[in-house]
Structure 1
Amino acid sequence: MRSARDYTDIIGGLLLIAGGTWFMLYSTGYNIGSLRRMGPGYFPMVIGGLVLLFGVLVLLPGLFRAGQLPRPEWRPFLTISASILLFALIVERFGLIPATVALTLVAAVADNQSRVLRTVILAAALSAVAVGVFTQGLGIPIPAIRWSY
């Protein structure tokens, strides 16, 4: 069904504006600093401003062009949400690798055309990258695998 406005871009732009505004407001609780001497609130303030700007750039054209009314797809929404919740529940108890594998396997259910072998390879690669970046690179104390709780 055609509409006088592109509500998909309007909704997306408003969500980006809301997210960017939240980041900017949240960062005001920290010292912003300056470009030469950045405080802990500087990076969230800049990222929030960029997200807000992109929201405006998505929103404005959507107000002046026709488009389809959006139809929500519940399966991808629910499976992606469930995979994030599952990651949060698993990561402390069992470690980063099992949590990343669970996240990837459950999120793959969102796609009707996902292949098992590709999903397993993706889960292994994402687990290796997560351990390399977060545990080794950034030194975040998350065990790769926790055998006992």
Structure 2
Amino acid sequence: MNDHIRQRLPDLVGAALAIALGSYAWITSADYAAGTLRDMGPGFFPRLAAGGLILLGMLLALATLKSPPSRFGGDRPELSSVLLIGAALISFALLIERNGLFPAIFVAVLLSTFASDNRNISRSVLLAALTAGACVAVFILGLNLPMKVFAL
């Protein structure tokens, strides 16, 4: 195998997986009518997402071949970071139904910000509040999803 390809193999495998997953989704959604932009059918969004995934996989492959090789598997994450990300996911799952969208997102983002080496409490609280507020604006106000913002 060419040394140029071997040094970039992890990124190329990721690109190939993205292309393969997008191709699978495209083929699987071929049985559904796509419709038009004005009158979308059940196959419109799956094909749009699959095409985007294929395109991103191709762009990743091209960027990988033109860039210097990346280091793969050199640094391992700290155990505390892995546990904090896991705790963030579990807290979201436990809080979303009982407490509502805003508290669930707020706690999950707050916990996940402490997985970084660059910890700052005030910045973490601000990021968590802005992210939770943006999610409320998009999902509840914008898309009118039937979710509780706060459970009282």
**Residue 106 and residue 25 in structure 1: after superposition, are their counterparts in 2 closer, same or farther (change >3 A)?**
farther
Match of 1:17 in 2: 19
Indicate the SS of the match to 2:138. Answer: helix
Is residue 24–residue 44 contact of structure 1 (8 Å, CA) maintained in 2?
Answer: yes
TM-score, structure 1 normalization: 0.77
Match of 1:43 in 2: 45
Count of equivalent residues:
146
Match of 1:115 in 2: 120
Q: Match of 1:50, as an amino acid?
A: G
Q: Match of 2:12, as an amino acid?
A: I
Q: Deviations over 1:73-122 (max 9, x none)?
A: 44456644542343233211211011101210121122110311001001
Match of 1:62 among 41, 61, 64: 64
TM-score, structure 2 normalization: 0.75
Q: 62-71 or 41-50, which moves further after superposition?
A: 62-71
Is the counterpart of residue 90 in structure 1 residue 95 in structure 2? yes
**Residue 55 and residue 81 in structure 1: after superposition, are their counterparts in 2 closer, same or farther (change >3 A)?**
farther
Structure 2 regions of 5+ residues with no counterpart? Answer: none
Q: 19-28 or 51-60, which moves further after superposition?
A: 19-28
How much is the aligned-residue C-alpha RMSD, in angstroms? 2.9
Indicate the SS of the match to 1:70. Answer: coil
Percent identical pairs in the alignment equals 33
Match of 2:55 in 1: 53
Is residue 5–residue 63 contact of structure 1 (8 Å, CA) maintained in 2?
Answer: no
Indicate the SS of the match to 1:67. Answer: coil
Is residue 13–residue 59 contact of structure 1 (8 Å, CA) maintained in 2?
Answer: yes
**Residue 79 and residue 20 in structure 1: after superposition, are their counterparts in 2 closer, same or farther (change >3 A)?**
farther
Match of 1:135 in 2: 140
Distance 2:129 2:99 in 1: 16
Which structure's relative contact order is higher, taking Cα pairs within 8 Å and 6+ residues apart? 1
Q: Match of 2:110, as an amino acid?
A: L
What is the CA distance between 1:64 and its match in structure 2?
7.4
Distance 2:14 2:56 in 1: 10
Q: Match of 1:51, as an amino acid?
A: L
What is the CA distance between 1:144 and its match in structure 2?
0.8
